[in-house]
Homo-oligomer: A and B are copies of this chain.
């Protein structure tokens, strides 16, 4: 039984139309596991079908994902000459998300394969599966439906895409379809030991220092319904952390029993970055973020605001308080 009965035949036609062409598989800026995994997997399968193919991304492969590109050509957008190359985009919701270094220099993509329902259909062929948990899930299904071989490097790449975009099979986007395909990828040779080592056991000491500093700053508000953690001005330099080391920290604030909204507030020389995470969609934290030049989703939003922690925090807490009252009176 095919995994994608409607779109897999279109994918096959797309691949067949690429015969004899040179294909750059692009993704999105600040690439995550599903982006890199999908780029690598599609590139490898095209190459296995004797189609010349490379991966190109404006940004470098994050350290934890380097192992996925060990045996697959991966180029930085700024260094790559696109003349003579066709493009297929994966996991990239709109044509600007590929980054200025790439977007301005490529022809219209022949293929656009993605799981974001917001995808703007910018390709010649657009294959969007909005109920799939990851682009890696879509590609795994396509490869199987079309009978294309999945070797162990490709299996690792697709698996990392699925595992990271589902938060290790935790997000509600995880379906029977997701598990079925993950199981088949295991059979195709996923190296679970390696994947887990690379994804979860290569933390920097500085990142844990950042976490420690963040946890230490925790304060509870509104009867323990809101937890706020801070990254104060200069903390990155102090512990030697990189910007991306703050990823995931806000989840600790939300994880506390009784907390409905977890908050991270970060100051960098008078500029505030904030992240809001709610346990339920009804808290509509995007409407809070909107008041501070931000936005996002009902349960996960971000903001940017020119201020200091000292001045900003009371404003934010007031906005959260109003929102909590709105939600109580509505229910």
Contacts and interface: CB of A to CB of B under 8 A. Distances in A.
Nearest to A195: B170
Interface in A136-190: 163, 168-172, 174-180, 182-184, 186-187
Interface in A235-266: 252, 254-257
B208 A192 contact: no
Nearest to A215: B212
Given A215-B208, A218-B208, A255 B174 contact: no
Q: How large is the interface on A (under 10, 10 to 19, 20 to 34, 35 or more residues)?
A: 35 or more
Nearest to A220: B205
Contacts of A215: 208-209, 211-212, 215
A70 interface: no
Interface string A248-290: 0000101111000000000000000000000100000000000
Contact of A192 (B172, B200, B224, B227): B172
Interface in A189-228: 192-193, 196-197, 200-205, 208-209, 211-212, 215-216, 218, 220, 224, 227
B170 A176 contact: no
B208 A257 contact: no
B179 A255 contact: no
A219 to B, nearest CB: 10
A256 B204 contact: yes
Contacts of A163: 169
A196 B220 contact: no
Most buried by B among A163, A169, A180, A252: A169
A276 to B, nearest CB: 15
A256 B197 CA distance: 10
Contact of A169 (B168, B172, B209, B252): B168
Most buried by B among A179, A200, A205, A256: A179
A206 to B, nearest CB: 10
Given A176-B183, A186-B176, A212-B215, A203 B256 contact: yes
A216 B205 CA distance: 11
A17 to B, nearest CB: 33
Given A176-B184, A201-B279, A211-B215, 20 more contacts: A163-B169, A168-B169, A170-B192, A170-B200, A175-B183, A176-B183, A179-B179, A179-B182, A179-B186, A180-B180, A180-B183, A197-B279, A201-B254, A203-B256, A204-B257, A205-B257, A208-B215, A208-B218, A212-B215, A216-B216
In the complex, the 8 A-B pairs of residues with the closest C-beta atoms, listed nearest first: A179-B183, A212-B215, A176-B183, A202-B257, A168-B168, A203-B255, A179-B179, A179-B182
24 contacts: A168-B168, A168-B169, A170-B196, A171-B196, A172-B193, A174-B192, A175-B186, A176-B184, A177-B183, A179-B180, A179-B186, A183-B183, A197-B279, A201-B255, A201-B256, A201-B257, A204-B256, A205-B220, A205-B224, A208-B215, A208-B252, A208-B256, A211-B215, A212-B216
